[in-house]
Amino acid sequence: MTNWQATRPTSDQARAWARVRANLRESAGARLFDQWLKPMELIEGDEPDTVRLALPSAFATNWVRSHYADRLHLEFKAVLPEVRAVMIETRAPSRAAKLTSVETLDATPAPRAAVSRVEVSPEPVESDDQPSLFAVPTPAKPARPAPAPAPATRAAKVASVAPVPAVPLRSASDRPPLDPRLTFDRFVVDSSNRVAFNAALSLAEPGLPRFSPLFLHGGTGQGKTHLMHAIAHAFLESHPEAVVLCMSAERFMFDFVAAMRARDTHSFKTRLRSADLLLIDDLQFIAGKDSTQEEFFHTVNELVSAGKRLVISADRSPQSLDGVEPRIIGRLGAGLVADIKAPDLTLRRTILNRKVSDLPDIVVPNDVLDLLASRIRGNIRELEGALNRVVAYAQLTGEKIDLEFAVATLGEVLRGAQRRITIDEIQKLVSRHFELKPLDLVSARRARAIARPRQIAMYLAKRLTTRSLPEIGRKFGGRDHSTVIYAVRKIEELRDTDRDIDNAVRVLMKELEG
């Protein structure tokens, strides 16, 4: 393995780096480029398929790894097709640093993998010499020669310096960009999410924000992340030069801890508080993290005081966040709190229609869509996933999509999503809806005011439970299965001709499923 000193690159990689820097400056904007990407230097090595970049601080290194990993790889790949890996390392420009060549792991297995390492000269390191994240690296000053230490002394000094590993950049799944599909135009609005949608629209409008922060809360897969991405898209469209940061609360905590370990919390604070729009998802993950909550509270205060926009989401309301400091809850409650409720049957069906319209070459029958909308009730993400699974299986097998195919494909999904509804539950709800006693439904009385609700209850029992016709008949006063068949057919006919009956059945089904 050959050791080499960092030199001024003059190879194909250097020319490619010049083009990559120009592209990054144009796409990222001057402010972001100057803060994060300008200090980055190319370190030329002997491996043409590996590009090595260096930054002056560990925090800056982590940030670039997190936000520009794939972009850097794609940019270099476009100029130099032979590039298979991009490495990024921490190097202090004010000290002489001897770097050992690196072998990275890629798609082609290497015969031998070496561990990346940075060997720092054994001179004492003063914390004040650590460069600012935003400072442009300056040429290294020549180090004062020192006498060679004894082997034991040298080993002790080297051991006291923690190595900074040059690890491969993480995959795109760790650094999701704004999803281009998650815009306001593609958000399906109804009464369950209208307040949250209108609040998000208002916050994204140009001009001074009418409120900040905006706190969105709702269950998993209800559309919180969709609205947050939509806010970012709309805000960037009207403010192209704005600094927008979108992260999870877990990412906030990770970056803050990394900054503390690197003794570079100033850069972390500066980055977040310079944002024109900050979006933090899943706030519940910082519950019980005292130091993270302290920094989060001060970040919220700084942004709100400066008139910046702040959007936060969680799976519950601020007052229900256990393990979160009361002052944070009070600060969040001072803005606008908007909840997103679970989607009802109509909204679920509308969402499926929107998804199917994006698949012009795929035909999904209405009865399949009705099945998905009625059986997968609580989570929009699971609903869309079930549709995607049916479509994918049909494309892979070449089979036609119909109700039988959908049930066979989604067997365990449908069984897991289905809530067990009992006949007793149906009888109690129907009797309460029609202002009857539960005993009336199982009695022998045949007055229409009782017979019609009884038929509706039988119809619902057949539609919403797995009980057989004789079992349903026995639950309604020991009636014959033919009576149940007649009741089911009668209600089916009346739903087509009698609006009151149809509305009553819809209301009862929605309440039972909800």
Provide the whole-model pTM: 0.51
Do both 249 and 296 map to the same domain? yes
Q: How far apart are the first and last CA of the chain?
A: 66
In three state form, how does the secondary structure of 442-470 look?
A: HCCCCCHHHHHHHHHHHHHHHHHCCCCHH
CA 395 – CA 242 distance, rounded (Å): 43
CATH number of the domain residue 48 falls in: 3.30.300.180
Do both 187 and 298 map to the same domain? yes
> Which of residues 476 and 416 earns the better pLDDT score?
476
Q: What is the pLDDT of residue 314?
A: 92
CA 55 – CA 316 distance, rounded (Å): 40
Strand arrangement, sheet containing 214-218: 244-248, 277-281, 309-314, 214-218, 336-340
Question: What type of residue sits at position 49?
Answer: D
Task: Tell me whether residue 122 is in a domain.
Answer: no
Q: pLDDT of 256-277, one tens digit each? A: 999 898 888 888 998 888 899 9
Provide the domain count of the chain.
Answer: 4
Judge whether residue 138 has pLDDT over 80: no
> Which of residues 514 and 222 earns the better pLDDT score?
222
CATH number of the domain residue 498 falls in: 1.10.1750.10
Q: What is the pLDDT of residue 65?
A: 84
Judge whether residue 2 has pLDDT over 70: no
What's the mean per-residue pLDDT of the chain?
Answer: 78
Do both 182 and 318 map to the same domain? yes
Q: pLDDT of 231-259, one tens digit each? A: 999 999 988 888 999 999 998 999 999 98
Q: Which two tokens stand for residue 472?
A: 């349903």
CA 170 – CA 180 distance, rounded (Å): 22
CB 117 within 8 A of CB 1: no
Among 9-13, 24-28, 455-459, the minimum mean pLDDT is found in 9-13
CA 512 – CA 433 distance, rounded (Å): 12
Do both 303 and 385 map to the same domain? no
CA 26 – CA 87 distance, rounded (Å): 22
Q: pLDDT of 311-326, one tens digit each? A: 999 988 898 888 899 9
Residue (of 329, 421, 334) closest to 374 by Cα position: 421
How far from the centroid of its chain's Cα atoms is residue 425's Cα?
37
Q: pLDDT of 384-407, one tens digit each? A: 888 999 999 988 988 899 888 888
CA 440 – CA 435 distance, rounded (Å): 10
Q: pLDDT of 31-78, one tens digit each? A: 778 878 888 989 877 788 888 899 888 778 877 887 787 788 888 888
Do both 266 and 354 map to the same domain? no
Beta-bridge partners for 218: 340
Domain end residue (candidates: 339, 365, 400)? 339
Q: What is the pLDDT of residue 416?
A: 60
Q: pLDDT of 276-320, one tens digit each? A: 999 999 998 888 888 899 999 999 999 988 889 999 999 888 988
Beta-bridge partners for 3: 100
Q: Indicate the helix (H) or strand (E) that contains 352.
A: helix 345-357
Binding residues for ATP: 221, 223-225
CA 147 – CA 430 distance, rounded (Å): 93
Do both 362 and 406 map to the same domain? yes
Judge whether residue 161 has pLDDT over 70: no
Judge whether residue 368 has pLDDT over 50: yes
Task: Tell me whether residue 97 is in a domain.
Answer: no
* Cβ neighbours for 424, distance < 8 A, ≥ 6 positions apart: 475
Task: Tell me whether residue 358 is in a domain.
Answer: yes
Q: Where are the beta strands (DSSP E) in 227-272?
A: 244-248
CA 19 – CA 31 distance, rounded (Å): 19
Q: Which two tokens stand for residue 205?
A: 């409008």
Phi (first) and psi of residue 381, to 5 degrees: -65, -45
Binding residues: 221, 223-225
* Cβ neighbours for 188, distance < 8 A, ≥ 6 positions apart: 347, 350, 351, 354
